Amino acid sequence: MAAFVYVLLSRTKPKRTYVGWTLDLDRRVEQHNSGTGARTTRGGKWTLIYAERYRTRNSAMRREVFLKRDRAFRKILRAS
């Protein structure tokens, strides 16, 4: 089963990013926008700006940790 790592961008100011992983990308983005996603994303409107596909959950989780720490990459995504 495929797993995904994704980056969301807030549609409100200030622009923020959120990094997560999931098995169902469309459902997860919908959860974030409906207020039932992660606590830090509640109340905002989010746009999917980046996603990567992995074959295993473990690979996706490891990549998520890396991207959460890679502020330079997230800054580049925010600017585009």
CA atoms within 13 A on the CB side of 56: 3
Domains in the chain, start-ordered, CATH in brackets? 3-79 (3.40.1440)
How far apart CA 59 and CA 62 sit, in angstroms, is 5
Percent of the chain with pLDDT over 70: 100
Q: What is the mean pLDDT of each run of 10 residues along the chain (80 residues)?
A: 94 88 95 86 88 97 96 90
Give the whole-angstrom CA distance, residue 27 versus residue 72: 28
pLDDT of residue 14: 82
Longest Cα–Cα distance in the chain = 36
Give the per-residue pLDDT at 25: 96
Could you give the C-alpha distances from 12 to 55, 70, 71, in angstroms and in order? 33, 22, 19
Q: What is the pLDDT of residues 58-74, one digit of tens each?
A: 999 999 999 999 999 99
How far apart (Å, rounded) are the C-alpha atoms in residues 4 and 46? 17
